[in-house]
Homo-oligomer: A and B are copies of this chain.
Amino acid sequence: MSPDDLTYTRGMGRWEPGARERLREAALELFTERGFEQTMVADIAQRAGVTARTFFRYFADKREVLFDGSADLAKQVQNVVETMPPTASALDVVAAVLDAVAQLAGDDRDRARARQAVITANTDLRERELIKQAALTAALTEVLRQRGIGNIEASLAAETGSAVFRVAFNQWGDATENRDLRDVIRETLTRLRILAAAE
């Protein structure tokens, strides 16, 4: 729409620039309109003004178009952890990372909900989402280990943190929920402490 107008009018090359963004938008629109399976790559490409072959030059497969930029998250994790004092406990680091991720993932509630609706409606997309989360968890585990935390300790902290994030993110997506994602995460973390302490 509005961003499109800009890129369109100042098109000066052989092809309109911003193909990647157009593909992203077209895909989200079509997935929302007809669903993931009912949308063919050729449809997305056509709406974006390119061919299917070009789609696959930007995205490894049909699903990936919904997860563009998730590689940036790993770098963010790296950055956040580097700014933590060496005295911070594993769980402190994890909490900080969750907070940072929440800022990126939770800034636009409506867009997040729309995207999530598409993902939840399709098993293949759920699979892709899960492995992206797993990749992030692995990255977190790795940076924790680099801080001298033991193997098991590191993966346990990372996996637990991811669990907390998933639960909080889900809750945050609820229609009745209106708190900031970071607040929900903090509350969930507290709940976990209570849960684990009970005995």
A197 at the interface (CB under 8 A from B): yes
Chain B residues whose C-beta falls within 8 Å of the C-beta of A89 in the assembled complex: 198-199
A39 at the interface (CB under 8 A from B): no
Classify chain A's interface size.
Answer: 20 to 34
State whether A91 touches B198 (Cβ < 8 A): yes
Q: Oligomeric state, in number of copies?
A: 2
Complex Cα distance, B143 from A198, in Å, reads 20
Chain B residues whose C-beta falls within 8 Å of the C-beta of A188 in the assembled complex: 152, 156
Of A15-23, A51-59, A98-106, A165-173, the one with at least 4 CB within 8 A of chain B: A165-173
Q: Mark contacts of A107-124 with chain B using CB atoms, 8 A cut-off: 1 yes-contact digit, 0 otherwise.
A: 000000000000000010
- Write the nearest CB–CB distance from A55 to chain B, whole angstroms: 20
Q: Which residue of B lies closest to A151 (CB)?
A: B171
Chain B residues whose C-beta falls within 8 Å of the C-beta of A164 in the assembled complex: 156, 159
Chain B residues whose C-beta falls within 8 Å of the C-beta of A131 in the assembled complex: 123, 126-127, 130
State whether A191 touches B128 (Cβ < 8 A): no
Residues of A within 8 A of B (CB): 89-91, 123, 126-128, 130-131, 134, 152-153, 155-157, 159-160, 162-164, 166-167, 170-171, 188, 191-193, 195-199
Q: Show 20 A/B contacts (Cβ-Cβ < 8 Å), sorted by A.
A: A89-B199, A90-B195, A126-B131, A126-B134, A127-B131, A130-B130, A130-B131, A130-B134, A152-B171, A152-B191, A153-B195, A155-B167, A156-B163, A156-B167, A156-B191, A157-B195, A159-B163, A159-B167, A160-B196, A193-B199
